Structure formats: structure tokens, C-alpha cells
Structure 1
Amino acid sequence: MKKQLLTLVLVPALIFGAVTIPLPKEASAASTGRIINSVSLRQSANENSTRIRYLKEGEKVTILSKVNSWWYKVKASDGREGYISTSAKYIQASGVTSPGDSNTNGGSGSGSSGSTSANVQKIIAAGKKYLGTPYEYGSSRDNTRTFDCSDFVRQAFLDGIGKKLPSDSRGQGSYVKSLGHAKTNWRDLKPGDLMFFMSYKGTSQSNYSGINKSTQTITHVAIYLGNGQILSTYSKDSGGVRIDSIENRHWEYRFLFGGSAL
């Protein structure tokens, strides 16, 4: 009887001793980044958001997530969390996974593949098909019956290559800057680049002299066609979507910066 009891005790012990219990997998290492040039750490993913502090060249950060194509959420070396530009001009990143939906603001849809020059032609062609479409401030992003300036630019990119830009001109400007493509001389721009302008202060160049343009707010966006011409919409009286020359006109005096959104 004692022998039988001993057997009953030992057998389960031997069985369970042979079972390998899987351990939880170790969490994957966090993405890391190294600051290449000093960049603002901001409270939210917006260029106008409050700056927490500057991240210095050489500083290492932990990349918590890639919010979209132009913002990372990071943890700085002092433990503070915030948002910084994804531009390779500011940060060298490793092991970063993009958000699942690549067609959110600033992302590019499946139609954005192909050479840059081919995409530029598609964007410009898509924009030109709306020539004469009436202007409406704050136009609906759900239809193409009317446009304001940023809605028109957004629709040209969406129709042309399936790329969904931010819905307002300031967001579009921030996106271009985040890519490191911004230029302050319009003559350095290429066809298809976006151009950003400050408020209208008259037709005379003297009305814009002495203005610190780096502090000015974007009030208009246009698509550069080359040869000193822009494609945009800016008022009901102007006739809606149209092509204008910029040299020696208020457009040239109001120009803040421009660059590629591709």
C-alpha cells in the first residue's frame, strides 16, 4: 500500500518536472534617435505648440511613436516627453514603425508611388482641371464645388497622386518645413513645390519692407508651376482657381518660403 502511494506521488512530479513552462517574451527594444541639429521639443504635434525646450545636437532620445509623417513622440534624456520633427535634418532615427494608416494627414496613399517628376505633372494636371472653380473661405473638404486656398492644394495632391496633405495652409507649411525642403527665395523652387505667403498689405513693395518674415503667419498657399507662375485660389472677386504671375507683384513681396511636399 505504501509502495502504491509513493508511486502516485512521484509520477505527477516527474510529469510536471518535464514540462517546460514558456516565459513571457521580452519586450522589444524601444526605438532610439540621436539629435543631428538643435530642434524644439513641443507639447503637441504642431509647430505652433508650446516649446518645452530645445533638444541639443548629439542628445539621445527614446522614440515612443511616430504620430504621422512629420512628428515623433519622444522621451528626452531628462525624462520629459514631447513631440519633434521627423525630418532627417534634425534626428537620426532607428527602428521606427510608421502608423498603420499611411493616408492620414501628411501621409501618402498608394497613388503616391512613382518618380517625383511624374508625380509633379499629375498634381499640376489635377489642379488645372479645377480652373475657374469658385472660391469659398472655409470650404468643405468633402466636395469640390468650391475651394479655399489650402483646400484646393490638398485636393490637387489627393486627385493627382493620392497624397493627403494637412487641411490648412499652416499645417501644409509645417509639413514642408518638417521635410527639410523650405527655401526662402522663390527662384530656387521647382514646379510642383508649394509656396506660402503672408497677409496682403497692398501692391507696393515698400509696404513689405522692414518686415521680419520669419515671424509672419501663413495666410495663403499656392502650387508653383515654374516660370514665375502659381496656381491657386484666393478670393471670390478673382474668379476662383486661376494662374498668376508673381514677379514684381505683391505675391513676390508677400512670399515667406516654399518647398516640395513630396
Structure 2
Amino acid sequence: MNFKQHILRPFATVGLATALAWTGLAITAPAPAAAAAIEINALSKADAIIATGNKYLGTPYQFGAPSGVTSVFDCSSFTQYVYKKNGIYLPRSSREQATKGYYVSRSNLRKGDLVFFSTRSSGGKIAHVGIYAGYGKILHTFGAGGVRYSSLGSDWWSSHYITARRVIN
């Protein structure tokens, strides 16, 4: 072994060991960090969904509005359209949408969750859907005024609340 090999070999060994150690740390990162990264991605997706919905504020409500039409919406065509624009495919009706994703309690709502309600004529069954926008607000369309924000804590929406689903990973 010549002088260069004798001097450089320990540095190469230390460098390789350091690189492997760092790689090991990256591979064995604790699960909470991974969960936090997933939550940040979900929040980013939620913000994108809400931003898409905001583009349609004031768009008129029309019961039975067809899928893909943006000149009018009903509640479920609105959520279907907004989520589809963000890569999440939902069925057409609010009752079908309530079967997607997984259950979220009202106390654990996060931006982007779908929230479901009954209406006067639905007999206590799901008949309306909106997007939880955070801070106790829902983004939805219903009746006069079309697409708008409402307070989940208002007497009417609070008393007609049924469930929520998280469809953002």
C-alpha cells in the first residue's frame, strides 16, 4: 500500500460509514414525522379544494344540476366537481358520497372533510353535503345565494348535522 492509499483509506471508510449512518437515520425516521408529513399534504390538498370552491362563490343553486356543469350547482354536483378538479373522484349524490373515505367525528373535523346534513324533507336522512372549511365554516350551495359559506354552529346547520367523512389522504 502506498502513502496515498494509507492516508486516504481511513477517510474513505469514515465517509462511507457516515453516509450509511445518515441513510439509516432517514430510513428509520420515526412514524410521527411521517404522519406529520401526510397531514401537511392533506392540509395542502384541503386548501386547494377550498380555493377551487371559492372560484364559484355566488354560482346559483339548482336542484339536480348535472355533473360537470359550472353555471349552476346543487350540493353534491358542487362537491363532486371541486374534488374531481383536485384528483378525488366522488359519486354524484350526497348519500353516495357519505359512503366514501372514513368517518370523522364532529369534534375532529379538518379542512376538506365532507359534512352531511338532513333537510326539512329528507326525514332525518342525508340530503345535503358541504365542505368543512375550518373555523366552524362550511362551503356549500343551497337555495338562494348559491355557493357560499355558512356557519356549522348556526342553529339550522347544527341541528341538521348528521356525519362527516374524510376523503383526503
Same fold? TM cut 0.5: yes
- Percent identity (aligned): 36
Gaps of 5+ in 2: 1-39
CA contact (8 A) 2:100 2:165 kept: no
Cα distance in 2 between the residues matched to 1:173 and 1:196: 7
What corresponds to 1:171 in structure 2? 96
1:195 equivalenced with 2:111 (yes/no) = no
1:243 equivalenced with 2:149 (yes/no) = yes
Structure of greater relative contact order (alpha carbons < 8 Å, 6+ residues apart): 2
Cα distance in 1 between the residues matched to 2:58 and 2:113: 21
TM-score normalised to structure 1 length: 0.46
- Residue by residue over 1:173-232, the C-alpha shift from the partner in whole angstroms, topping out at 9 and shown as x without a partner, is 0113xxxx3134x2321111000001238xxxxxxxxxxxxx931010000011110000
CA contact (8 A) 1:133 1:240 kept: yes
What corresponds to 2:124 in structure 1? 216
Q: Secondary structure at the match of 1:187?
A: helix
CA contact (8 A) 2:114 2:131 kept: yes
Q: Secondary structure at the match of 1:141?
A: coil
Q: Secondary structure at the match of 1:115?
A: helix
Cα distance in 2 between the residues matched to 1:254 and 1:142: 27
Cα distance in 1 between the residues matched to 2:114 and 2:126: 12
Cα distance in 2 between the residues matched to 1:183 and 1:220: 17
Cα distance in 2 between the residues matched to 1:175 and 1:259: 7
CA contact (8 A) 1:135 1:147 kept: yes
Gaps of 5+ in 1: 1-113, 202-214
Q: Secondary structure at the match of 1:130?
A: coil
> Structure 1 residues 148 and 248, CA, compared in 2 at 3 Å: closer, same or farther?
closer
Structure number with larger C-alpha Rg = 1
CA contact (8 A) 1:200 1:250 kept: no
CA contact (8 A) 1:197 1:257 kept: yes
CA contact (8 A) 1:197 1:220 kept: yes
- Aligned pairs for 1:89-238 within 5 A: 115-159=41-85, 161-176=86-101, 181-184=102-105, 186-200=106-120, 216-235=124-143, 237=144
CA contact (8 A) 1:224 1:231 kept: yes
What corresponds to 1:103 in structure 2? none
What corresponds to 1:50 in structure 2? none
Cα distance in 2 between the residues matched to 1:149 and 1:240: 9
CA contact (8 A) 1:169 1:218 kept: yes
Q: Which has a greater percent of strand?
A: 1
Cα distance in 2 between the residues matched to 1:174 and 1:194: 11
Q: How many residues were matched structurally?
A: 128
The alpha carbon displacement at 1:168 in A equals 0.8
What corresponds to 2:161 in structure 1? 255
- Residue by residue over 1:114-136, the C-alpha shift from the partner in whole angstroms, topping out at 9 and shown as x without a partner, is 92121111111001110000001
Q: Which has a greater percent of helix?
A: 2
